[in-house]
Amino acid sequence: LGTCGLDAAVEFALLPGTYTTSLLIGTLPTTATNTLTITSSTGDKNDVIIDVPDQAVLLADANNVFIKDVTLKGKAAAILMKGYCENVEIRDCYLQTDSATTINGPSGIKYPNDEKAYLKNIRIVHNTFEGGAYAIYLKATAGKDTVTAKTMRKEIGITIDSNTMLNGVLGG
């Protein structure tokens, strides 16, 4: 996928089972119509479980990615986002992490501060989060436009809607 790109929308419909390998989704030549979807083949999030000791999914400079109807269990994070992430949707998933009492502890979805990064058009909809320091931890600071040197927001169009957050130690 990384070499040849996508000529159409691609869907990986995972068969029922427990997987013990993280998913790494990096820079792919996707477009708004040529997207990548990771989902359960049955449409039931309880049928596909990714259970790993670190992060279940790493989105690194990922664009046009949809994750739906799966269970993600990671000790550090269910989903870790890094770099430039745009047009990403996480929908109808169960995300579980270990409980922690530190501010840098595990989170269901985690986006740590990164000077050279931004989030744009991110949708987190109708998921269940359990455990972790936070269910959703999105931390970014404003950055400078390299041409105009003006301070710009680094998060644009983030939607967090209809999620259930259970047993988070420090907050949602």
pTM beyond cutoff 0.85: yes
The model's pLDDT over 108-155, given as tens digits with 9 standing for 90+, comes to: 999 886 666 778 899 999 999 999 888 998 876 655 555 555 555 556
Strand partners, 136: 109
Share of the chain above pLDDT 90, in %: 53
Q: How far apart are the first and last CA of the chain?
A: 35
Q: What angle do CA 127, 133, 137 make, to 5 degrees?
A: 60
Strand partners, 121: none
